[in-house]
Amino acid sequence: MSADRARTSFINYPRAQAYEKGYKAPPPGKNPVVKGYTLHYVANFVNALPLVPYLLWKNAGFESLRALKELNNVEPRYDPSVIPLPQSSDDTPAHYTTIDASSLRVPPQNAPGRFYTIADYHDAYKSGRLTPTSVIEFLLPLIRRDAEKHTPYTTAFIDSNVELVRAAAEASTQRWKEGKPLGVMDGIPFAVKDDVDVKGYRRYVGTTTDFTEGKEVGTSWFARKVEEVGGILVGKCNMHELGMDTTGNNANWGTPLNPYNSRYYPGGSTSGGASAVSSGLIPFAVGSDGGGSIRIPSNYCGLYGLKPSHGRVSVEPLPRNGKSVVVYGPLATSMSDLEISYRVLAQPDPTNPTSSQFAPPPPVQAEAPAVGSRKKILGICRPWFDRAVPQVQEACRSALQYLSVEKGYETIDITMPYITEGQLAHALTILSELLSTQPAIAPLTPANRMLLKIAATTTATDFILAQKLRNLLMQHLAHLFTQHPGLIIVLPTTPNAGWPIGDGEASHGMSDGNMQIFNMEYAWLANFTGVPAIQFPVGYVKGSQGEGVVPVGMQGHGEWGSEDVLIEFGYDGEEWLEKGYQGGKVRSGLWVDVLGGAEVGR
């Protein structure tokens, strides 16, 4: 595809231009690690002395964008939305869920480590073996915070409106009894992250402040779409406070467990959703991703996660924090559940100026596209890829070898300029946008009080430089995508294999800027440039502490609007784990047999 075609096939497509800047690894981090009670005192110190925040801001490297003379002639870009123009063949599907459940591409029943899928719930309801009410009554004691006895799974949730949950389950049960279900998602339990507005729920965004107090809130667009096809919203999930780190540590509401290894973080900031799905409590959840917050917890908890193109999934009427980097998307235990949930979530919202311009997603594909119907090209920036620890590199390379030999993918070398500077520019952007909507620092935990105080040092000049670099990076990506149609840029999801929980981090949290930057090294690109990205598990390693394994994931970045290409890539990745990986997929050690338990409890 030529650059001219790219510009006429999209709205706001960047000018395709290559920037040949050799990769340079970032210098060793200089940020101190602070945790426990010490963090409380350090945060007070940083907030009290005017010069200290600037010194820490400079120490983190944020001032380095000022040295990039290459940005002098680059225009800033504040919105990374790039929208494919609808084609004549883009018909609006009449439905997304009134399909034959047997057509869903679910893992075989005898697949190792298999989780229950949406199709399994559907079949249980259709046969009369279970009802949505029996499933909900089994789930509620496991997830309710107001229950007399908490379970290991309670911390994944902030709240469940029991009256609303039971009413939705009873309505679904009645539809099934009458033989009039709304489709394969009727009666399927799901959850959303606590940064989403839902009627009948408060919104804390992981803090102790109710941001809905005194306000009448409605349910966000994408959650309504799931409810309209019969999905049962069982609650709002825990998250890292304000979404401002990638561990999932939360001293306010507790840190959700990682079902694969409880001595490791579940990943953040969609920590509760990832924990709940990885426990088998629900087939899928919806999270937000401003810097990897869908993909990183999906990686840590062995799930499939999709970060859509910027602006595709509408969260109206909720104002978006981190407006130019944050998107919403699904996390699931299988590609079939990821695909169908995405297609329901991504229906264009006529009230949203960006979402409304996207063509409706096509219906669920009953089978993979014919061989040769799409180009299979994987691009690897090898010096960047090689920054991952050996265990992660080995797991990803084994998957790539399988994809090459068994699925026909071609691998090419690509270059990516200004990677280190780009990550800093992304951090400057998301922090500045958060500050514009969350100026009050006092009610927050020490780590975030300190982080936002440091972020407030950013000047308007630095913010504009970051947006110039955004445009430059988008132009380089446009060059790659126009030169190599169908290209998927492949990276590990994180360069590290999980994040162990350290001593003393539960009470006041912790601040480890060096590890946070390293952990996000591969995640920020999709958010900053607006491209879609998919994460899928490719293996497991032995943890440095605790019992159980630690999942390892790989992600693919596609051209703007190429979610369907990435979904097929995800299916190919799922096949690697089922057929190519020795031992196959591993089920989490704290998995809950929801369907079996609900049947016993009837």
CB 273, CB 301: distance < 8 Å:
no
CB 333, CB 278: distance < 8 Å:
yes
Structure confidence at residue 442 (pLDDT): 54
What single DSSP character describes residue 299?
H
Per-residue tokens: 275: 């924990």
- List the beta strands (DSSP E) in 126-273: 157-159, 189-193, 232-237
SS3 479: helix
Report how far residue 444's alpha carbon sits from residue 76's, in angstroms, rounded to the nearest whole number.
32
Amino acid (1-letter code) at residue 518? F
Structure confidence at residue 155 (pLDDT): 98
Structure confidence at residue 372 (pLDDT): 65
CB 253, CB 239: distance < 8 Å:
no
Report how far residue 188's alpha carbon sits from residue 122's, in angstroms, rounded to the nearest whole number.
8
In order along the chain (602 residues), what is the average pLDDT of each group of 10 residues?
52 96 84 88 91 93 94 97 84 87 95 97 98 98 94 97 98 98 98 96 94 92 98 98 95 97 98 98 98 98 98 83 88 98 97 94 85 85 97 98 97 96 97 79 83 94 98 98 97 98 86 94 98 98 97 98 97 97 97 97 73
Could you tell me which residues come within 8 angstroms of residue 528 by beta carbon, excluding any fewer than 6 positions away? 80, 325, 422, 425, 426, 429, 470, 473
Whole-number CA gyration radius for the chain: 23
CB 171, CB 186: distance < 8 Å:
no
What single DSSP character describes residue 579?
I
Q: What is the pTM of this model?
A: 0.96
Structure confidence at residue 368 (pLDDT): 82
Domain locations along the chain: 3-79+422-466
Could you tell me which residues come within 8 angstroms of residue 39 by beta carbon, excluding any fewer than 6 positions away? 446, 447, 450, 508, 509, 510, 511
At what angle are helices 460-483 and 419-437 packed, to 10 degrees? Answer: 130
Report how far residue 242's alpha carbon sits from residue 512's, in angstroms, rounded to the nearest whole number.
17
CB 474, CB 526: distance < 8 Å:
no
Structure confidence at residue 1 (pLDDT): 38
